[in-house]
Amino acid sequence: MPLPKALDGKLGLPVIASPLFIISNPDLVIAQCCAGIVGSFPALNARPQEDLGKWIVRIKQGIADFEAAHPGKKAAPFAVNQIVHQSNSRVDADMEVCIEHKVPIIITSLRSPASLVDKVHGYGGIVLHDVTNVRHARKAIEAGVDGLILVCAGAGGHAGVLSPFALVNEIRSFYGGTLALSGSITNGSGIFAAQAMGCDLAYIGTRFIATREANASDEYKSMVVESSAADIVYTPYFTGVPGNYLKPSIARNGLDPDNLPSADPSKMNFDNRHNKPKSWKEIWGAGQGVGNIGAVEPAATVIGRMKEEYEEARQRMSALAA
Q: Which domains does the chain have, with CATH numbers?
A: 15-215+290-321 (3.20.20.70)
pLDDT in tens, 285-306: 999 999 999 999 999 999 999 9
- pLDDT band at 66; cut points 50, 70, 90: very high
What is the pTM (predicted TM-score) of this model?
0.93
Q: Please determine, for residue 280, whether its predicted confidence score (pLDDT) is greater than 60.
A: no
pLDDT of 202 above 70: yes
Strand partners, 290: none
Range with the lowest mean pLDDT among 30-39, 46-55, 154-163, 274-283? 274-283
Burial level of 131, CB count in 10 A (0-12/13-18/19+)?
buried
Q: What is the pLDDT of residue 20?
A: 96
Using one digit for the tens of pLDDT, what is the confidence trace for 302-314? Answer: 999 999 999 999 9
Q: Residue 201: in which H helix or E strand, if any?
A: strand 201-204
Q: CA 33, CA 15: separation in Å to the nearest integer? A: 10
CA distance 131 to 70: 37
Q: Which residues contact 284 (CB under 8 A, 6 or more apart)?
A: 216, 220, 223, 224, 245, 246, 249
Q: How many Cα neighbours within 13 Å face the side chain of 142?
A: 7
User: Does the pLDDT of residue 275 top 80, yes or no?
Assistant: no
Closest CA to 291 of 151, 154, 149, 193: 154
- Torsion angle (degrees, nearest 10) of CA 132, 134, 139, 145: 70
What's the average model confidence in pLDDT over 130-141? 96
Evaluate if residue 264 carries a pLDDT over 90. no
- Distance between start and end Cα atoms, the chain: 23
CB-CB contact of 291 with 229 (8 Å): yes
**Chain centroid, CA 221 distance in Å:** 17
Of 268, 225, 264, the closest CA to residue 248 belongs to 225
For residue 112, name the pLDDT band (cuts at 50, 70, 90).
Answer: confident
Q: CA angle at residue 216 from 213 to 218, to 5 degrees?
A: 95
Strands 232-235 and 243-246: antiparallel
